[in-house]
Amino acid sequence: MALHQSLDRAPVRQVRKPSSARRSGAVRRREQALGWAMLGPAVLLLILFVVVPALLAFGLAFTNARLLAPYAPSFVGLDNFVRLFQDETFWHSLLNVAYFAVVVVPLQSGVALGMALLINVKVRGVNFFRTLYFLPVVTSMVVVSLLWLFMYRQEGLLNEIIARVTFGLVHGPDWLNNTSTAMPAIILMSVWQAAGFHMIIWLSGLQTIPADLYEAAAIDGVGGWQRFRFITWPSLRPTRNLILVTITIQALSLFTQINVMTQGGPLDSTSTIVFQAVRAGFQQQETSYASAISLVFFVLVLIVSGVQRYLTREKS
Amino acid sequence: MKTALKRVLAASVAAVAIGGSLAACGSGSGSGGSGDGANGTLTLWTHNAGNAAELAADQSLVDAFNASQSKVKIKVQAFPQDSYNNSVVSAAAAHKLPCLVDIDEPNVPNWAWSKYLQPLNLSADLSQNLPSTVGKWNGQTYSVGLYDVALAMFARKSDLQAAGVRVPTAEKPWTKDEFNSALASLKKLGKWDYPLDLGTAGTGEWLPYAYSPLLQSFGGDLINRTDYQTADGALNGDKAVAWAQWFRGLVTQGYMAQKSGQDSTKDFLNGKSAIVYTGSWAADQARKALGDDLVVLPVPNLGAGPKIGGGSWQWGVTTGCQNSQAAMDFLSFMLKPENVAKVASATGTIPATQAAAALMPDYAANGADSVFREFSKSYAVMRPETPAYPFIATEFGKTVQDILSGGDAKSALDKAVKNINDNIKSNNGYKS
């Protein structure tokens, strides 16, 4: 289409007076400059606060830099990485993050899609539910974590409800102090908090599906499940890919909940890579070791998103 | 595609090079060089923005000092406690430290080793101070505090009597067996789910502050204090393992919750526990609520004598200060008995000197709080005076949590020892 247009225009441009051609070139240059000027501040800030610190971290990972030290950092090669790969807690963290991501990605996107389908109808009061579902998202994760910390206690709200519903037959566990329930508890809370955000993305995807597809399907006498399976689901493809990638990255960088609720415990059952990096870098002052962890994390995220990009690529 | 990739690579390499050199000059030579104090104004940083009473007391001392002479002015800047350490560390890295800083005592060796603090040279006599109110490293004094706090256990006299348990005294604390059987008797009363509350929900510095004295009372320690080069034997020896098993045993026997409530003192006052492990800071509140029924118990003697942690917030002078003499004068001024008494009264803490204690009714001989001063004087053990302490503290904190959660005592302690020793080695033994 674009090519066709420019071919159409080519002869016209040839007969134009040279001055006009020059002017259109100047206009284009000015537009380009304007574009760069608009990009400028954002790019500058990104470089200053994202790219430079990231690269700094990559460099520091191969030194013995500390947060506080009387000596200048020196190059120590792969020491930090050797130590990291020998650290049991690191492997625990890796497993925990994998567990978290494998459960959260399908669960959270599924719940979000379900909610999006529910609120993608034209009935009175639907805005009320949209707001309700979105409410946890606008609440700070720290606040949410603190609230759920109380709910998950041995004699907290959740166990109280379990006891009431089962007429006192079942007494819930001490959710966050039990190695087998701590991570599921955090998963449940995280999905509850973040699903609303992805619901909005699903919703925007749903609303781009042309209504005439559904009308045609209705004429053909298509049922609810078939309508979802053959119209809605295929049409959501770009949205789906976006959600897959964003939830995965969000899941891999699990930190806030852990920091507030469990500090990685009990017995490393909720420790994560980012939590380990923050702990090493700030509490333990080992800047270089924390940088090494961050570098490994970066490579990990890169690989995972690369694989996802490859699997969800446009096959044309 | 290929050229784009090349360009990205080239840019990255360049940026790494620039980044590397930036890092080198950023965290290089440790000394402050801040320039504070050059123009007759000295800045003082304190952690107590969230503690109005203490801040007001500090401010009034500063005002009095400013009024007492005309050469220099001290200016107070207060930070919330949670972000205070981070603020100081980042200011140190940026060479923007003020002349006077507030320091949590166990961090003093680390900051002194990093060359952010200079040795104190005061006209005031520190020999009469409680030993735990003076921060030392490598044979030199780097900080001095106006007060300390003391760990203790609170109980109700009526509960102990009902359970038929002896009320321990500072001269004759409970032995380990007495403590264990007291818990058993209290548990039998059936009044509480868990009779003991050691504040196991605590995090951060609370963990080493509260639980390393119990370890030391068993005869273990966080590190070998002869040369501070290894934790082997101290933190994973038989005595340390015995401590860990005893500690976990308190949970498995149902004497104490694996994770206590958020506010142990409040839970105790509300009748949710029989014995609470807290400290001098909670005494006023408890006495108001319970009156004469409150008994302040010394910590038990678990074998090697009763131990509590020593060292609270103290004051130091940074290396970059342009007018160290004025900063030292200010510290000497703060140490006058009436000034110490003023701050200690405002904060409900133990005054650093006997002369100040004499000015405070509660801390004077036989005063209601004099027992805390007694505990501090006879039981206090400083946290290891080594620059490795901040690292040791976080490792020990995690180990305590793992032990409470039922992790194998010996392997948890071995892991902590390995990490601590590795850290000491990678810092060349933290030699000065």
Percent of chain A with pLDDT over 70: 92
Chain A residues lying within 8 Å of B391, measured CB to CB:
284-286
Q: Is B357 within 8 Å of B364 (Cβ atoms)?
A: yes
CA distance readout (Å), B3 to A309, B6, B9, B15: 22, 5, 10, 18
Chain A residues lying within 8 Å of B92, measured CB to CB:
68
Distance CA A297, CA B306 (A): 46
Distance CA A62, CA A83 (A): 12
Residue with tokens 């959270």: A108
Chain A residues lying within 8 Å of B111, measured CB to CB:
68
Nearest-by-Cβ selection for B23 from A73, A174, A179 = A73
pTM value? 0.80
Q: Is B151 within 8 Å of B375 (Cβ atoms)?
A: yes
Do residue A267 and residue B110 have CB atoms under 8 angstroms apart? no
Minimal Cα–Cα distance from A28 to chain B, Å?
A: 23
CB proximity B89 to A under 8 Å: yes
CA distance readout (Å), B63 to B8, B35, B68, B72, B100: 58, 23, 9, 12, 15
Q: What is the rounded (10 degree) CA torsion for B398, B399, B403, B406?
A: 60
Minimal Cα–Cα distance from A55 to chain B, Å?
A: 6
Q: Is the peptide bond before A266 cis (omega within 30 degrees of 0)?
A: yes
> Mean pLDDT of all residues in chain A?
85
Give the tens place of pLDDT for each residue, A219-232. 888 888 888 888 88
Task: Name the pLDDT band for A8 (thresholds 50, 70, 90).
Answer: very low
Interface pTM, i.e. ipTM: 0.74
Distance CA B254, CA A176 (A): 18
CB proximity A71 to B under 8 Å: yes
Closest A-chain CA to B83: A282
Do residue A69 and residue B398 have CB atoms under 8 angstroms apart? no
CATH class of B151-308+388-430: alpha beta
Give the tens place of pLDDT for each residue, A263-282. 887 888 999 999 999 888 88
Closest A-chain CA to B26: A72
For chain B, domain boundaries: 41-148+311-363, 151-308+388-430
Chain A residues lying within 8 Å of B113, measured CB to CB:
70
Give the tens place of pLDDT for each residue, A83-107. 889 888 899 999 999 999 999 999 9
What letter does residue B326 receive in the DSSP assignment? H
As a CATH number, domain B41-148+311-363 is: 3.40.190.10
* pLDDT at residue A17, rounded to an integer: 52
Distance CA B400, CA B412 (A): 9
Is residue A230 in some structural domain?
A: yes
Exposure b/e, A95-123, CB count within 10 A at least 16 = b: ebbeebbebbbebbbebbbebbeebbeee
The DSSP-derived string for B195-258 is SEE--TT--TTHHHHHHHHHHHHHT--SS-TTTSS--TTTTSSHHHHHHHHHHHHHHHTTSB-S
What are A264's two structure tokens?
Answer: 């990685």
Do residue A55 and residue B391 have CB atoms under 8 angstroms apart? no
Nearest-by-Cβ selection for B402 from A68, A174, A267 = A267
Q: Is B409 within 8 Å of B215 (Cβ atoms)?
A: no
Do residue B391 and residue A71 have CB atoms under 8 angstroms apart? no
Closest A-chain CA to B261: A153
Residue with tokens 């490994």: A296
Domain harbouring A152, CATH code: 1.10.3720.10
Reference A70, options B115, B370, B47, B319; nearest CA is B115
Q: Is B370 within 8 Å of B362 (Cβ atoms)?
A: yes
Minimal Cα–Cα distance from A204 to chain B, Å?
A: 33
Is residue A45 in some structural domain?
A: no
* pLDDT at residue A18, rounded to an integer: 53
CB proximity B111 to A under 8 Å: yes
CA distance readout (Å), A219 to A120, A211, A227, A234, B400: 21, 13, 12, 20, 68
Does residue B178 register a pLDDT over 90?
A: yes
Minimal Cα–Cα distance from A299 to chain B, Å?
A: 15
The answer for B 57-86 residues in CB contact with A (under 8 A) is: 86
CB proximity A125 to B under 8 Å: no
What are A227's two structure tokens?
Answer: 């309508």
Task: Name the pLDDT band for B32 (thresholds 50, 70, 90).
Answer: very low
CB proximity A83 to B under 8 Å: yes
The arithmetic mean of pLDDT across residues B79-104, rounded, is 86
Alpha helices in B309-426 (DSSP H): 324-334, 337-347, 354-358, 370-379, 389-404, 409-426
The answer for A 86-115 residues in CB contact with B (under 8 A) is: 88
* pLDDT at residue B300, rounded to an integer: 94
How many CB pairs below 8 Å do chains A and B form together?
98
CB proximity B93 to A under 8 Å: yes
State how many domains chain A has. 1
Closest A-chain CA to B90: A67
CB proximity A146 to B under 8 Å: no
Is residue A16 in some structural domain?
A: no
CB proximity A301 to B under 8 Å: no
Closest A-chain CA to B407: A267
Long-range contacts, stretch A226-231, CB < 8 angstroms, 24+ apart: A228/A117
Residue with tokens 């509660």: B362
CB proximity B254 to A under 8 Å: no
The arithmetic mean of pLDDT across residues A8-30, rounded, is 61
B268 φ, ψ (degrees, to nearest 5): -65, -45
Chain A residues lying within 8 Å of B427, measured CB to CB:
64, 66, 69
What are A199's two structure tokens?
Answer: 């619901």
Task: Name the pLDDT band for B259 (thresholds 50, 70, 90).
Answer: confident
- SS3 call for B46: strand
Minimal Cα–Cα distance from A264 to chain B, Å?
A: 9
Does residue A125 register a pLDDT over 50?
A: yes
The DSSP-derived string for A153-169 is STTSHHHHHHHHHTTTS
Higher pLDDT, B249 or B363: B249
Nearest-by-Cβ selection for A283 from B394, B401, B415 = B394
Chain B residues lying within 8 Å of A266, measured CB to CB:
401-402, 404-406
Q: Is A86 within 8 Å of B134 (Cβ atoms)?
A: no
CB proximity B121 to A under 8 Å: no
Does residue A76 register a pLDDT over 90?
A: no
Do residue B115 and residue A70 have CB atoms under 8 angstroms apart? yes
Residue with tokens 């002194």: B112
Chain B residues lying within 8 Å of A55, measured CB to CB:
12, 15-16, 19
For A40, residues 6+ apart whose C-beta sits below 8 A from its C-beta are: none
Chain A residues lying within 8 Å of B405, measured CB to CB:
177, 179, 265-267
Range of the domain at A235: 88-311
* pLDDT at residue B18, rounded to an integer: 40
Do residue A179 and residue B405 have CB atoms under 8 angstroms apart? yes
